[in-house]
Structure 1
Amino acid sequence: MRLDLPTLFMMTTAVTVTVGVLFLLSWSQTRRERSLAVWGIAHIVGGLASLMLALRGQIPDSLSIALANALMIGAYGLIWCGVRAFEGRRLRLDWALAGAVIWLGACAVPAFFESLAARVILASTIAGLYCGSGALMIWRGRGEPLVSRYPALILLATYAALYWIRIPLAVATPLPVSIGTASPWFAILAFAGTLFSVAIAFVFMALTKERAEREQRQAAETDSLTGIANRRALVAGAERHLAVAPAALLLFDLDHFKLINDRHGHSVGDAALAAFCQIAAPVLPPEAVFGRMGGEEFACLLPRLDERAAARVAERIRAGVARFTHPDYPELRMSVSVGVAAESQIGGSLDYLLRRADDALYRAKRTGRDRVVTSEEDPLPVAADIPGTSRVGGRSRVRSP
């Protein structure tokens, strides 16, 4: 079957423009995702370029060759620019349009314009660079776990490779002079353009959808004041860890927090809660599940730690909180009491751990606050801060009066 190449390019135009309109419609509903708008414009520009290529022989070569390919290169530059926007980088429209400017400058040279091989080499080099650079940026952003990130990376990298493969082929293989020639070269180009438009639309829209869903999920699982996990996310994460490994639980309660609110106001109290999280988070191991239970009470599950190791972590946090100062409120002091409990078996109950840690926390409050108490041991106060105490076996014990 012989393919009518202008018809193929017209089909590519229709599909590409339709995809561009869909991108713009999606952007109109999610205005803060600028990448959708950039990708929409890129596809409409690419569709216009395909239309001008389809009219080869019916319009001047300056339009069907020079301008059409400049628009196509510019479309790839805008796709690259949209990837930058998606990854939170500056758009750099100057770089996105630089390829088209280079192409038009080269086309002003008669020897270049008359050489089909030279034109293919330059256009393929620039388009491949945009696609390859976009793939690299998506790879560098892999810290944000999105399922469609890797299909997008593979798609852009594959398209870059296909463009760069055209460079040696342009040197080694005689190329047709007219688009009207029944050549598989242009048929492949038209089909590739259509498939690329559809595929890139699918994966890019999937990327933005996955990001929106992830942000919504994080918002639903995050305490809005402190930025750490809320109670629901904390419980869910802790239960997942307990199902596969033993763990220890730390239960924190800021001492005299109501007094902070009463003396300094709720805004300072809110800042104190956030400051506690900023002190505690760097001390915790990466696998820790740290969240706010409510009010001034926080909890942290430490997978694979026993009670003694968990108590050492808690003591570092307690000491960090005790050293806290605020330049605007020099009289403000903070302290925290901590209850520690551990489960040595896989599949332990979170409720049981919470009850034991809460009992230890109650004993820490009852015996003077600003200390760490484990579920099976005596309080661990700071000896210098409590009259009538002495260190015994590496921990403080309260002497009888």
Structure 2
Amino acid sequence: MQINVEMLLLSGGLVSAAQGAVLLYFWRRSRSALYLAWWAASFLVGGVLRILVELLPYSFDERNFLGILVIMLAYGMAWQGVRTFGGRPVVLPMVFLPPACWIVIGFSGLFENGSIAQMRAVSFLYAFTWAVSAFEFVRAQGVSLAARMPMILLCAGTAGLYVLRIFLIPSFPYPIGAGPAESWAYSVLFFVSIITTIPFGTFALALSREHAHATAKNWDEEPHHHHIRLRSTFFANVRLMLRQYRMRNEPVSMAFVHLDTGVERHPQAVENFERILRRFEMSVKASDMFSVVGRGEFAAVLGRSTAADAQAHYVNVLAGLEKLCRRQGWTLRVGVASSDTVGYDVNALIEASYMALSQARRDSHSGVVAFTSSMRKPVTPVMSNVTTLVPQPGAIQKHTIA
């Protein structure tokens, strides 16, 4: 049977791109799961760019070089996704480490193009990225998730396949080895890509769902060190975001949300907490950031947003949750601060947001407070920007606290 190699490679790219689109869709519904965004980007980059490489009128060697470069970049992004899942901050240079190594291999002259040594070096890089991903899953802390072990086995198994390939290269045809190209070898390569791409995406979605449910179930019972890890990861990523907006001279707002549930635990508390969490997640744009950072505490960073914009935004969010909170006897309070008031330093934004949140928590009702410079004074400030949701259904009032 004749195998169309070009169509096989294009099909692999389409499968990868489709998997990335699915992960991107679910990430947009759960913005705090940044690892889904990284994995979606990995599949989309690996799929779309691979298709473009195959369609462009380049020579075989050029397509081979660019194709491996795309795969290396996709693997680097997936690696950072695993780090994010494990509660560790993103290290952007690591994203470009695998492709940078391949560029060195390709242009340094140390390896002859298409030689056994070069292919072994590539296999080693592939195995390395999958192995470190497996290691990141192993050392990921937090709640026990059923899908984590299959993901560890998948990553470790794929790394093992690439290690095995190192020894098979001299005796197998291209693209598995360094021998003359054979169509069946392309079929094997396509099969391996399918049995890694589809299970990885499936387990990724399972991890996301399990993690969201566990977060909602244990939101007021998780150990303190877990919240510290969440906060450190989130704010490490916030620093990168603030740096970008400072370069563009655009305003950024930070918001801290506190959910006060009182002492009584309602039977539907977990379900309702998930609804509140999902509502806040869906309220931020794809370019913004959101995370659970403590027991009943959320944090968000809104790009291109002043303090007034953020305050108006969260007034609308709280209005949509008013009936639910009143039925549960819960109170939501939000403190916001903006770079146009305190600058782009992450610590200054955190401090200002918490000052505003502390001011909001003085009121017995759900409300949003925007930081002003007068809050830094030791005397009791006169606030004209406190927006409170009063208990009456749908009623929003703006009043001054003296």
TM-score of the superposed pair, with normalisation by structure 2: 0.52
How far residue 207 of structure 1 moved from its aligned partner, in angstroms, is 0.3
Percentage of identical aligned residues: 24
> 1:181-260 alignment to 2 at 5 Å?
181-219=181-219, 230=265
Pick closer, same or farther for the CA change 1:52–1:164 going to 2, 3 Å: farther
Pick closer, same or farther for the CA change 1:113–1:66 going to 2, 3 Å: farther
Which residue of structure 1 lines up, in the alignment, with residue 121 of structure 2? 122
C-alpha distance in 2 between matches for 1:141 and 1:28 = 23
Does the CA-based 8 Å contact 1:27-1:34 persist in structure 2? yes
> 1:19-168 alignment to 2 at 5 Å?
19-51=19-51, 54-55=54-55, 58-61=57-60, 63-110=62-109, 112-141=111-140, 144-168=143-167
C-alpha distance in 1 between matches for 2:139 and 2:60 = 40
| 1:231-290 per-position Cα deviation (integer Å, ceiling 9, x unaligned) | 879xxxxxxxxxxxxxxxxxxxxxxxxxxxxxxxxxxxxxxxxxxxxxxxxxxxxxxxxx
Give the letter aligned to residue 12 of structure 1. G
Give the letter aligned to residue 195 of structure 2. L
C-alpha distance in 2 between matches for 1:77 and 1:124 = 15
| 1:353-379 per-position Cα deviation (integer Å, ceiling 9, x unaligned) | xxxxxxxxxxxxxxxxxxxxxxxxxxx
C-alpha distance in 1 between matches for 2:263 and 2:76 = 39
Does the CA-based 8 Å contact 1:129-1:160 persist in structure 2? yes
Pick closer, same or farther for the CA change 1:196–1:179 going to 2, 3 Å: farther
Pick closer, same or farther for the CA change 1:208–1:180 going to 2, 3 Å: farther
C-alpha distance in 2 between matches for 1:85 and 1:60 = 38
Q: Helix, strand or coil: the match of 2:111?
A: helix
Give the letter aligned to residue 161 of structure 2. L
Give the letter aligned to residue 144 of structure 1. V
Does the CA-based 8 Å contact 1:42-1:75 persist in structure 2? yes
C-alpha distance in 1 between matches for 2:152 and 2:144 = 13
| 1:27-70 per-position Cα deviation (integer Å, ceiling 9, x unaligned) | 111111111111111001111353256459x5234531222101
Give the letter aligned to residue 191 of structure 2. F
> 1:161-176 alignment to 2 at 5 Å?
161-173=160-172, 175=174
Which residue of structure 2 lines up, in the alignment, with residue 311 of structure 1? none
Q: Helix, strand or coil: the match of 1:112?
A: coil
C-alpha distance in 2 between matches for 1:86 and 1:50 = 26
Bigger Rg, structure 1 or 2: 1
Q: Helix, strand or coil: the match of 1:219?
A: coil
Does the CA-based 8 Å contact 1:3-1:182 persist in structure 2? no
Which residue of structure 1 lines up, in the alignment, with residue 365 of structure 2? none
C-alpha distance in 2 between matches for 1:228 and 1:136 = 40
C-alpha distance in 2 between matches for 1:228 and 1:146 = 28
Q: Helix, strand or coil: the match of 1:26?
A: helix
Does the CA-based 8 Å contact 2:173-2:179 persist in structure 1? no
C-alpha distance in 1 between matches for 2:197 and 2:75 = 11
**Unaligned 5+ runs, structure 2:** 223-258, 269-402
How far residue 88 of structure 1 moved from its aligned partner, in angstroms, is 0.8
RMSD after superposition: 3.2
**Unaligned 5+ runs, structure 1:** 234-401
Number of residue pairs aligned between Structure 1 and Structure 2: 232
TM-score of the superposed pair, with normalisation by structure 1: 0.52
Give the letter aligned to residue 86 of structure 2. E
Pick closer, same or farther for the CA change 1:175–1:95 going to 2, 3 Å: same
C-alpha distance in 2 between matches for 1:23 and 1:50 = 18
Pick closer, same or farther for the CA change 1:113–1:22 going to 2, 3 Å: farther
> 1:356-367 alignment to 2 at 5 Å?
none
C-alpha distance in 2 between matches for 1:228 and 1:81 = 39
